[in-house]
Every structure is written in structure tokens, then in C-alpha cells.
Amino acid sequence: MTLKLTKTVTEFLKGKPDQPHTARQIAEWIYQNKPAECAAKKAKSQSATSDQELITQIVAEIGSQYPRLKQRVPQIKTTQGKPRKYYFTEKSDDVEISEAESVTSASGSEASLNEHQLYPLLSDYLWSQHHLYSKRIDEKKSSNKKGTNGNKWLYPDIVAMENLSHDWHPEVRDCVGVYGDSRTRLWSFEVKLKLNTSNVRQSFFQAVSNSSWANAGYLVAADIIGDDTLKELRMLYALHGIGLIRLDVENPADSEILIPARERSDVDWNTCSRLASENKDFLDYIRLIRQFHQTGDIHKKYWDIFS
């Protein structure tokens, strides 16, 4: 019996709609549920001499055959990052985003992870992997001096400060202070649950708008769906320099910078002044940066550090 991989993968994913699975999870299911076909495949293989080697071979073949699989079954989609995950869905891109951004189910209880639950996960990653001191910016705390849409796309979800001088010699730190150069790098992050072709440009330009003041700006998403979405983000990055982070919600330390942001040498303090004058969270952020430059004290208890 011949293992028809494309047909078998489709069978598995259609049986578990809207549930992402890695190629290894699919391969292990195939091994458990198609024993005769797997035995025949192993007998013909020159490299798979053990069951685990056979599973590994199937994993590799799933990845290599994905373009053909996608062409035959357009309802099969993949996430970006490592490991890539595959899933079958009848939903359009618009519906997927609409459902992802719905905080509650019809019964009123939380249906799945919502965007606000991503913030501490991102802060955990930023601290544990990059030693960034982060703070949540709640745009709802902003004044409405500019009118109803005056603050639209003005505030990022998370801001951060990087202490560039943490391992410098004391004399160098003092010298930089006297010289007037910066001991910090300022970061900005716009967070989304999911990115696909229906919301990628809007989300990217939202990040462009609310990160223009910082040394580095990032768009962050728990799920990035499809090769076309990542291709679009790379093209937009080339024009605007906003980076991309895939946030691993199960283990934030395994999150990935898929596109490194293009760093700006200067902070736009005029924009910072407007943000600080209209939002208390951002004012607190600026105050902590000022205190650090004046005293060298971080005041860790005022930052969002979860690890």
C-alpha cells in the first residue's frame, strides 16, 4: 500500500478544522493511523531504518510538499515561524480576524486568548530574552483634546527602555553622562492576535504611526498566517523599517524576531511630548527614563517585569 501524503494530510486536517498542528504532530498521527502504508514506505526507504527516522522523513516531506498541498486544497493554511503549523479552515481571512479579535463568546465567557492577555507574555519575552524594561500604555487613559479620532493610532500597546550602559565601566557611564550622549534605547510595540492578508497592511501602518517617535518599532503577533502575509511585511519593512515578532503564547522565551527593526539614531521628543501630555501611562514612562538618566536607578518595581 502506498502512502499518499497529500491526501492523508488533508484527511487529518479536515478532521480537526481550525486546529493548527505541526508537521511532526501530523506525521505521528499518520504513523499511528496508517500502519500498513508506513510499513511499506519504510521498506522502500533507503534512509529510514527506524520508526523515528520514518517519522522524521514524513515531517520533511510534509514541508517540501506544502506548495502542492496548498494548490490542491486552498483551505489549508499555515502559520509563520518555527515550527510552522498547518490547519484546515473554511473561514475567509476577514472572518478569521474578526473571530480572533472577539473578546467573548456568545455566552459571555472568554472564548480564547484575547489581545490584552498577550501583553504580559510580550513583556516576559522582552525582559527574559532582551533585558528590556517594558510598560503597558492604555490608550483609554488618553485625553480627547484633539477630538474623537485625535489619538487614533497614536499610542503603541507596549513601550520599553533598554539600558545600554548596564555592563559599562563606571568611568565610561560618567563620561557619557557628561558628554550628553544617550545611555538608553527606546522601543515601541503594536500587538495583534493574528495577522493575515486581510489586516496586514492596516496593522503594519498602525505600527508605523504609533512607533514613529522610538529608536525601534515592532509589530507583534501570536499568529502570522501564510507566506503572502510575511512577504508583504518584508516589502513594507524595506520602506518603513518596522520589525516583526512572532509571540509564542505557550512559551514566550521561544518567541522569534522574524524581521529585525531598522533602528533610528534619534528619538522624536516632540512626539513624545504630545504623547506624555495626553496619556498618564506614557508620562510615567518618560518620567522613569528621566530618573534613570539623572540617577542611574532603574526602579524595577515600576516596570512590567513578569519573569
State whether 243 and 287 are in the same domain. yes
- In terms of pLDDT, which residue wins out, 297 or 200? 200
- Average pLDDT over every residue of 290-307: 87
57 part of a folded domain:
yes
Least confident of 140-154, 175-189, 240-254: 140-154
- In terms of pLDDT, which residue wins out, 253 or 2? 253
pLDDT in tens, 218-233: 999 999 999 999 999 9
Least confident of 8-22, 165-179, 187-201, 287-301: 165-179
State whether 206 and 85 are in the same domain. no
Pairing relationship of beta strands 85-88 and 21-22 according to DSSP bridges: antiparallel
pLDDT in tens, 92-108: 999 999 998 875 433 33
Integer Cα distance of 24 and 30 in angstroms: 10
**Domain C-terminal end among 91, 106, 123:** 91
State whether 177 and 136 are in the same domain. yes
**Domain C-terminal end among 39, 59, 91:** 91
pLDDT in tens, 163-210: 988 778 788 877 877 666 788 999 999 999 999 999 999 999 999 999
State whether 166 and 37 are in the same domain. no
pLDDT at 109: 37
Least confident of 28-32, 118-122, 154-158, 162-166: 162-166
- Average pLDDT over every residue of 124-128: 96
Q: pTM score, two decimals?
A: 0.87
State whether 20 and 164 are in the same domain. no
Is pLDDT above 50 for 27?
yes
State whether 121 and 268 are in the same domain. yes
- Average pLDDT over every residue of 32-46: 87
User: CATH no. for residue 54?
Assistant: 1.10.10
For the chain, the domain total comes to: 2
Q: Give the domain range for residue 202.
A: 115-302
- Average pLDDT over every residue of 77-105: 87
State whether 159 and 46 are in the same domain. no
Pairing relationship of beta strands 216-224 and 184-195 according to DSSP bridges: parallel
pLDDT at 264: 94
Share of the chain above pLDDT 70, in %: 92
State whether 276 and 156 are in the same domain. yes
State whether 37 and 119 are in the same domain. no
- Average pLDDT over every residue of 79-95: 93
266 part of a folded domain:
yes
Q: For the chain, give the mean pLDDT.
A: 89
Residue-by-residue DSSP string for 168-229: S-HHHHHHHHHHT--SEEEEEEEEEEEE-TTTHHHHHHHHHHHTTTSSEEEEEEEEEB-HHH
Q: Rounded to 10 degrees, what is the CA torsion of 238, 239, 240, 246?
A: -40
State whether 148 and 264 are in the same domain. yes
